[in-house]
Structure 1
């Protein structure tokens, strides 16, 4: 790892750079993201990093340079090798949707015949190192090496919202790394090429093998299909399955190969060949993909307050506005509407708007700030380094920064933009001094912009921003409180979500709540017409109930109905197939919700699973009787409430035994579906037994009989379930 201050290569496990003394970032044990030394929680996956940071500060032996088999990577090694005590997410099996990547080196046998075994071994190790780096850079997990092939997972053991996209970017990076290795490594002269297969689908995860050979892996037809796609791919090709293509076509171009019969599979598979990333990615989720759009609904109050804050900023009182809400709640849609309104209204005609979005793939130092500078300079993603430098020079000229002042600022802004230090201007600058100079450089260009007009800076997805960008934004806000500046940021709920709040600057936190039922119906009416909403009354009710007021979830559920042919357009009207219901969970929603669940500590995640088996609503007394760790119930429920997985039901239960419900029906469904069938069966049996204790020897209420019948019918005691269900039927007829 290179020091973020001076660039010196720092050994793993070092807390400080031996050259400049700068304290080094700490890799998150869960996802590998490099966290600032003072972070207690990973900003990328939410896992605690405090313990990791303390461990890094202790002296450590020099790490071995032997390549560790990636199925037993250091961050997961202890969990994988531990007994199956169920305390670690990587040792506890579950069911989930995963993107599987198989990569194989073409011509391995021929190459082995041509090269000395020692040379071949060195080449293999270097190749494995490069491929592993590509997988980990995009948040994947290397399951195993099989000869000259690699099996990697995206979505296990930790899920992300965009795992299929990460897998494709990793595949392209693997191709590029292999090509570079082939150009530099000694071999027969023929190019080194991979062929890769990628497939997304359901798998079972957990420990596979026995004894010391047991390691974390996945099982299922999804894995077999990925391997068959890899075998079918020509040298230099990446072939993907149907679901992978559907989940990534917004960001990549493909060549369709049609339905292909793969060796060993009964039916055909729709296959696409990966081409390249799109220069301008389309909307990843929602109905914009299908060309459907609706006016913003249910956010009038928030929009009014944002416009009022901008009014105050234009009057010379800097403003910080935070939009807070879970994924899909409508933060980006509200920002889009707000920016459009700013552009349309005469009172804001002189406001300059600069926008940036933080990446879920992790940010380099000053990454978010660099995105703001790129927006100000009009830089495009396809720009070369020379084009970016020219646009930066133009920006400084427009701001009246020329001569020696521009010459002083340029290398600092090059550093922010990741353009290097071509004239070696900064090579002798101490890291702390460099940091201060960059902060003042950023302040200078913002002040110059503010001298020309009011300025609105928008930074979306701040929860993924790098620590130094956050520091820079806070620095700017603290020192420009009496200027025409408004900083608008969006982020998800987090314990440290007030990190930008300043005592000097007026700040407003707007928490976006779920849409109410009327607004949800209004959204569907705007998309499909009032007549469809009325005619599909039962289906509409199901959609709104399952979505829980989340606008994106509403659109994704409807999109699934359109994809299945349940909802069809006939001319200017929409029609629903008779008798259809909104069942199933779209893959996009599964990924978003499972990513939230995977961020929980394992004992809390287990508690959520036990609660999910009870149902969407549960009583603390019943959960205490069911859970394997009743002593942790109160603290666990508090953490689940903090994470907005569950919420206490007001006016129900008692102080000693409150009632809770899942914040979203789909969230409970995802947690339940994530469980192995055997574990579901076991927990249902425990729930049934606990209910028998609570209801007495001879339950008589219809509600009690029905619930007992449901849980025992899903347990190993199905005969008891049938008995209770029959008794419930008899009671209902009385």
Structure 2
């Protein structure tokens, strides 16, 4: 039996150790089966540092012997033996189990490793077997944590008196041995490292920690020590210095250091980068915009580079707008954009809502004397302002994607107008911390640099995928704007040394310590600067006679290993009241206003002196901003280090105090600060307040169309609410949050995720939607029946008055249907019938845009081709209930009526496009509806031969796409323009447009558009005589067609091209006399032509051509009478529909075929082939179809017998 105290192996059954006399706790031994390696690891893994776990898993049997410099900690409990006597072995064993859990957890929290567990303590190592930075500091932090946790333990366990630990720590070399079967690492000491650590533990008083001078020297910048003097240590030839670690930093005098430690230096090693930047400014002045990305690690000199640029003479000739993202700003909507816009408008943080709005209004009136009222509501919404009623009416009902597009458009116009007044530079600092909505808006604005005098300068750290990397990727993919990436590398050794010398103005200095600084700094200028400042703080460098001089201490200075070590040492040397103020500021954020800081710190006494002192110490900078005094940390790393040094409980309290102060100071415009409140309340662990702030922040984010941030807030709020409420959660509140999450996902285009939350939320309103196919079919049939009743017996429907809950459910399900039509058209059809069963119960005029929702039902029957009659009936029933002043309803009605007539073949009955209606919809952000209006009107104009009108509509689509940077509109333009170029036979230009369309369709994942574009490409290759290329294009289209849920219109061109290719092959075989292939190709051509005919019953776009192609097929197989009948139908249909392009080519085809016949044929009243060719020629000339005109005379030549 092993003694837990001295590890002596006693005989089984012994009650006391034969070596040291300690009680043996385990008196009964249970037999357990031997554990495997994996079982042992699983048992201990929750206590193992992650790095050690990985190392064990990779080596399994052993860890090779290694020589390491390790920090050793011994921890021993006072009065262990009396405790056992007092409590008994079993109870004492239980108590020690809890103590061990505390010790193990705290050691491993700081990535130490338990090397040995004695009966009343542990031996731990920091730095082996896994190497660690700051090993002494980690050991001390662990020691502090152990004392703190044991004190907490004592408060809860008062039955057996207080337990106190003695801790000793020393650093030195050890050799790491093998990893035994019990997963305990065995170490052997080189020298007396372990012995000295053990002796420190014996010297420590209960509840304290003692360390050697080695530990003191490495950690004195972060911990306070009391020098206990020199002690005689057994086994040491001379006495050594021993230090006691103090529990806090009170009572230690620090000499106040002020302006005499201010250091400055010329910028070193960046002159070429600065020249590159200034060159872009000069190009900007001469009219060329650009985007410059300044990329570098923290402290590398990004901000200094911009500061130097601002000193250049050229900057006096430009306007500079600056915005900064903040570390808590990942979910603060449009923060850097708002920052530079408020700066431009002169809005102060303490301006009340009325004053802030007035300043923005005045600024926009100066910029837009003619239309400031149109721009103001959207810019104000971006800035989170509450609008006065007159302006609120302007954006009433505009939300989601529509609002987002209008905000983008108006911010774009602000920058364009500013650039017209003079060259404009927009600087975004710390972009790596920006919110996603800001990144998306910046990507949109960057394109301005292509045509406007705008230079964007982005400063960010590498390695941030969602911000900096996303910007770089977006610029690389499809952006023709000039882009320059300035990557700031670390200074080399020569430049680093030059920087040190220049800072201290010590020419000719040559000291080993300078080399150490250079090596440790790794070329980071900020690290170098802070080390030099620490030398001044320590008196290693002093100022005499106005110049810096090196003292004797210079050669003995210890260089910290990391920038964090340097910063913490400097913060620690501050006067206590200044240090406390700095930590409060760190909790507020990188930037902080005087008023906020004074409120949170709780006292204004000596506030100015303390801030002045921190400025002198070069921790913070001061500037006038928005006519108020603002401070900010000189470097983000300083704020991070100060923040990290605050104890958790104190940090929570400060976050709560900051939140309360924000509520107090900004009570009148609190809506603009909900994101910050959510951040501070969450960090302060006030769950009730955090939840409330998260929900309100989500609402505000949706108002400004910042769907990414809204999504974050709502997801956090839902998780927090569920965690807090558990099984008692209110289903209505959960449904509301799920609804908002669904809408946010929908607005972001994440449709799969949106559907999940739509379904969850709708369960609260209407229960679960059936999943089983049979049940779904029943619900579909039942829904269809109810819709028929509504259409044919309307007096039985549309009676119920909707409640608020009904309205919410209808709006939610309708939005879900909009999502379904994009990704699951078939499911859209089924679930829409279920929706309209519910919808037709109510008087739909009581719903927002109720008539628009009802007429959308016609699309179910029109776009599927199921029944044009039902589509007409729906439109007719709704027509009398339309609000003709509602531009949304009217453009939706026009769209559905126009497409119904277009698909049905009633082309003469389609109304002319309505530019005024389009502009009214653009004004409220309905880019999608406005674009569809021009798109569909473009097709009937095209095929009716109104080429000039179609060209104008293509131009309008292109204009909208450019102004709103809208990919959907651009794709509509490319689809329509492809058909326009193809039908007018501008074939090379059409192929170029197809290439652009294919690239965009792939980017936007629009498989249906790809089918259309590949079908067009096949038709063009046939016209150019390349049958092989045509077949390849159709094969690509067919692969997509088979994998997608399609609507008939999107395969119209595909079916037409497929039939044309089949006829072309058949014609070639007949001409070549390859009779063996004739039956197969004849069958294939007949099949394709029949498929095209069936298609044109649902979509009349190519109906005239389909009938004509059937005539060509019959003519080729020598069924001349059948051919004449098909051509008669083709001409009759073409004339009825006004399909002049297809009609003219049918005339030409008929004329050609009749002309090549051996005996004259007549058609329809005796009209000859030459008459048909004349009809064709007249229409070709009327529509300016030059390609057809050039071919017509050659086509009309009769073939020789």
Class of the TM-score when normalised by the shorter of the 2 chains: 0.3 to 0.5
Structure with more of its chain in helix, by fraction: 2
Q: Normalized against structure 1, the TM-score is what?
A: 0.44
- Between 1 and 2, higher relative CO (CA 8 Å, sep ≥ 6) is seen in 1
Q: Greater CA radius of gyration, 1 or 2?
A: 2
Q: Normalized against structure 2, the TM-score is what?
A: 0.29
